[in-house]
Amino acid sequence: MEDDDTPLSLIFHAITKIIKLMTPISPHITDSIYQNLIEINDIVPFYKFKESVHLELIPGYGEEKELKKQIDENLELEFGKALNIVGAILAARDKVQIGIRWPIKEVIIDTDKDNFAIAKRMEKVILDSANVKSLKQGKVPLDVSFKLRYKDIGKAFGEKTGDVAEAINKNKENIVKHIEKDSDDFKIEGFKLKKSYFEVSKNVGKEYSMGEFKEGLVFIKSVLDNEMEPEGFMREVSRRIQVLRKEMNLLKQDKIDLYISGDSDLIEKIKVFELAMKEKVGALNLIFGKEPKDEKYQKHEDKVKGKKFTLFALKK
């Protein structure tokens, strides 16, 4: 959370709303607070300040009407679809217990051309949010099966329900093909059937884990690629260092000297990320595979995927 600007953004949003609402009854005080906010504009560069709070729109209909003019509805729609894909990837991760800190080399997206084009336009959002390196359009073989919703079929066909059920049992393979095509309705032996008449189950082989979204499916490898492991270990160890910083009551700007000792394989994997780790955890010096002689260092023992390690940190 130390690098997350979201809490600051929420606090700022609340403060500006309150100031605008109070302006009619406390014009001088609110404008003074507003001017102070302008002076720290570098903390909230996303907000476009005006010369005075009295030039702002009062929250409510006027402000909402102005905001609606600025909304790109197409972008909003595409962003929503991108988040649905992210949700499907996270669901696929969860099924095989691959945490978000472990990068995935590739995600296969099974969807139509238009929706994949949207995914490519929103690629950075998806890659960053789901910790993925690349997106690819494609298909993975599925085992598709279905059960009849007899209640729905009975309502639709009445006395002919028995004949419909018999026709369905004779044409299971054809029905599966229609389901795989995601057809809303289709005909079997003269009977018009709807997708809603079937309770569909889609299963993928052991090699992949699957997630579903409204416009299609996503697939990730069930086992993490070996080349992705080092980055995953680095992220996990970095999180433990942030926990240690919190235990030491350090502020974001505080720097530390850091030693990491422990499992030799783990150390070798994360050493290649030395510069990134130093920046991420605020370390002036980072020593791998050794322990400090100075007893002033705060110690933290932990493990990731069975690999034990020890952290030693000292505020500079």
| Beta partners for residue 209, in sequence order | 220
Which comes out higher in pLDDT, residue 58 or 2?
Answer: 58
pLDDT of residue 1: 44
Q: Please check whether residues 217 and 310 belong to one and the same domain.
A: no
Quick one: which H or E segment has residue 17? helix 6-22
| Tens of pLDDT, residues 33-44 | 888 888 776 666
Measured distance CA(206)–CA(209) in Å, rounded: 7
| Residue 103, in any domain of the structure | yes
| Residue 1, in any domain of the structure | no
What Å distances lie between residue 199 and 145, 215, 235, 237, CA to CA? 9, 18, 41, 44
Q: Please check whether residues 234 and 279 belong to one and the same domain.
A: yes
Q: Please, where are the H alpha helices in 184-289?
A: 229-247, 264-271, 274-281
Pairing between strand 135-137 and 107-110? parallel
Q: Please check whether residues 119 and 220 belong to one and the same domain.
A: yes
Q: Please check whether residues 212 and 105 belong to one and the same domain.
A: yes
Angle between helices 6-22 and 27-39 (to 10 degrees): 150
What range defines the domain where residue 133 resides? 74-140+205-224
pLDDT of residue 34: 86
Give the residue among 93, 138, 94 at the shortest CA–CA distance from 119.
138
pLDDT of residue 225: 86
What six digits make up the tokens of 127?
């890659």
Q: What is the mean pLDDT of residues 261-277?
A: 95
| Tens of pLDDT, residues 88-142 | 999 999 999 999 999 999 999 999 999 999 999 999 999 999 999 999 999 999 8
CATH code for the domain in which residue 124 is found: 3.30.2320
From edge to edge, which strands make up the β-sheet containing 135-137? 135-137, 107-110, 216-221, 208-213
| Residue 62, in any domain of the structure | yes
What Å distances lie between residue 219 and 8, 32, 94, 116, 208, CA to CA? 36, 54, 12, 14, 6
Q: Please check whether residues 108 and 158 belong to one and the same domain.
A: no
Q: Please check whether residues 93 and 214 belong to one and the same domain.
A: yes
| Beta partners for residue 188, in sequence order | 191
Q: Please check whether residues 217 and 149 belong to one and the same domain.
A: no
Domains contained in the chain, number: 4
Q: Please check whether residues 136 and 146 belong to one and the same domain.
A: no
Model pTM above 0.75: no
Q: Please check whether residues 134 and 147 belong to one and the same domain.
A: no
Last residue of a domain, one of 23, 40, 71: 71
Q: Please check whether residues 123 and 211 belong to one and the same domain.
A: yes
Q: Please check whether residues 216 and 251 belong to one and the same domain.
A: no
